[in-house]
Amino acid sequence: MNTRSETDLLGPTEVPGDALFGAQTQRAVENFPLCLDGNTPARTIGSFPALVRSLLLIKKAAALTNFELGYLEPAKAQAIQQAADTLLADLPARQFPVHHLHGGGGTSANMNVNEVLANLGEEILGGRRSEYRLLHPNDHVNLHQSTNDVYPTACHMAVISAWPQLNNALLQLAAAFDVSADPQIVHLARTCFQDAVEIRLSDYFSGISAQIRRETARLDESVDRLHTINLGGTICGRALDVPQAYLEKIGPNLSRVSADPAFRQAENLFDAAQNPDELLAVSSGLERLARSLIKIAKDLRILGSGPEAGLNELRLPAVQPGSSIMPGKVNPVMPEFLIQVCFRIMGNHSMCAAGLDHGELDLNVWESSMVFSILESIELLTSCVTVFTAKCIQGLSADLEINRAHADTLIPRLTRLMHQYGYTRVSTVCKEANGSLSQLKLRLRQEFPDSD
């Protein structure tokens, strides 16, 4: 492989000749290998484009701010912004090869982006890759920044940018439940896995829809709080390392380049460096959503059980054969797919929670474990909820006769008698039957001959 030599604090190192990244990125690739046997590599930061795009937007905003304040020559600022725009338009994932769980609190990710922008900008200015003569990754691209403020802000931005797709998928799922049941279909409600009372199937589905919308709204509020950023806080929240004018302009300029006016400076920059609890709040919402979806999917499996010895009240669309040996068997694979994805979301939340638990002193360096857990959860849920809606809920139907028969069984009838004759009288008849179902039905006909 053709290589070139670059030098950093630790000395020279060989970098792939066609790489836009430099020495510090190469060291990270070697220190945090994606795999050791050549099989099934772990994900790189480049496989999470939401994070890389966020880092690029931050660099673009910083270059704009430093230019406006006279800290960066116009040509250099323009080169950084042009390089960022080029990458944003067509993100080359292979140029961001750092393991997503690299050590160092995000330094490798920050420097990966700094080096790529510096090399691309160097070429824009007429120089050669890896010279850093016209544009330097630290002196220019990273001017008035620290990984301590860049990386947490990028983590917030990445989650914000990933959320709308999942939000839309969840609202579509809720809407599918709203229209999937005819209001005229009666249904037997159950409590403690025992028969309860007659309701409409649409009543039951309305509860599901309301729950999904409520969880979505809670998550939306948590994601919106991520618009609080700590750019300008540099090293562990110390704003003394940047000019006051930069501190005041970097937030508005980030809103400008990202077309998101909601970004706002954290009230306490030291707090923002120490405590990524707003990320954990999003993860908590995703876990709560996952547990809610598990309940919904399990209910569908139960209500669709059969075809003869189960409840068989719902007909889930058949999407694939269910057995390699039992002809005609069809399994509820879509609810089961959703349940297993939700198991993964619960595991991701455990990792995310550990990221908050183990923060020490002035800087929490575990944000990679948090943001990538959240981003993966959003990815998984978005794809799974979308296909679950299309291949399960939108094709769902109910067996009218079975639902009607179940809704007209003993407990619903006893409840109707209670409203007519009072709890004590009906309960006395039940007690006289001494646990015998056939005897109870006989006593009911004797005691209430005019009832249904």
**Alpha-carbon span 166 to 189, nearest angstrom:** 31
Q: Which amino acid is it at 22?
A: G
Residue 363 carries which DSSP code?
B
Q: What is the 8-class DSSP label of residue 149?
A: H
Three-state DSSP class for 109?
helix
DSSP string over 103-144:
STTTHHHHHHHHHHHHHHHHHHTT--TTT-SS--IIIIITTT
Give the closest residue to 278 by CA, choosing from 217, 212, 356: 356
Task: Strands of 267-323 (E only): list them.
Answer: 314-315
Please name which of 2, 21, 24 lies closest in space to residue 13, comparing C-alpha atoms.
24
Q: Quick one: three-class SS letters along 7-35?
A: EECCEEEEEECCCCCCHHHHHHHHHCCCC
SS3 (DSSP) at 195:
strand
Tokens 């990933």, residue? 162
Task: Tell how far CA 186 is from the center of its chain.
Answer: 36
Longest CA pairwise span in the chain (Å): 101
Q: How far apart are CA 116 and CA 92, in angstroms?
A: 10
In angstroms, the CA 140 to CA 56 distance is 14
The catalytic position among 5, 255, 323, 377 is 323
**323 assigned to active site:** yes
Please report, for residues 84, 219, 278, the alpha-carbon distance to residue 283 in angstroms, rounded to integers and kept in the order given: 30, 9, 9
> Is residue 16 reached through a cis peptide bond, with omega within 30 degrees of 0 on the bond before it?
no
Query: Distances from the Cα of 228 to the Cαs of 61, 265, 373, 388, in angstroms?
Result: 16, 6, 20, 34
Question: What's the one-letter identity of residue 197?
Answer: V
Active site amino acids: 323
